[in-house]
Amino acid sequence: MVKKHKLDKVDRQILYDLQKNGRLSNVELAKNAGISAPPCLRRVRALEEAGVIKGYNAEIDPESLGYTVTVFAFVGLISQAEVDLKKFESMVLNWEEVRECHMLMGEIDFLLKIVSIDWDDFQKFLTSKLTPAPNVSHVKTALSIRSEKELPGVPLTVKPS
């Protein structure tokens, strides 16, 4: 678990800009934050080392690569002992189809976001990996019709200078 990191106005501006566009150059980041490039780079590295910035990646359109099915699976486990929860999470880490895994409080133990090429591909994943997995008691699924909003990160705000 990452400890809470105190952020000043400059840090918040840097995070805001990187979250909107992770490809911004250090010079552009520094200009937007109102500082020079060397201290900006030091701040970015400090934010990375503190775990505030977890990484950088490209946002890829699933349909352009043939992934036309997105399903949310609500998974219930037989045992909710911490060791069993960790085993399930470790297993899910190895399933490329699962793009998100969230442990929930309440009736459902985990929510998984799964992408597949087509419905048959999803059914194969469901019947060969997910439902027969150790400790899984039940799985309910919901097919996503469309996604209008998918934002990474958190709702950062910066005050205009």
pTM, two decimals, is 0.85
pLDDT in tens, 95-115: 999 999 999 999 999 999 999
Query: Is residue 118 within 8 Å of 126, Cβ to Cβ?
Result: no
Domain presence at residue 80: yes
pLDDT at 151: 86
The 8-class DSSP code of residue 130 comes to I
Please answer whether residues 89 and 136 qualify as being in contact, where contact means their C-beta atoms are separated by less than 8 angstroms: no
**CA–CA dist 51, 45 (Å, integer):** 10
Tens digits of residue pLDDT in 21-80: 999 999 999 999 999 999 999 999 999 999 999 999 898 999 999 999 999 999 999 999
Euclidean distance between CA atoms 17 and 30, whole angstroms: 10
pLDDT tens digits along 136-159: 999 999 999 999 998 888 898 877
71 and 133 share a domain?
yes
What contacts 8, CB < 8 A, 6 or more positions away? none
Which CATH number goes with the domain that contains 98?
3.30.70.920
Q: Are residue 126 and residue 83 in the same domain, yes or no?
A: yes
Count of structural domains within the chain? 2
| 18 and 69 both lie in a single domain | no
- Asked if residue 45 is part of any domain, the answer here is yes
Q: Binning pLDDT at 50, 70 and 90, where does residue 87 land?
A: very high
Structural domain that includes position 22: 9-49
Q: Give the side-chain half-sphere CA count within 13 A for 13.
A: 17
At 3 the pLDDT is 64
Contact 85, 103 (CB under 8 A): yes
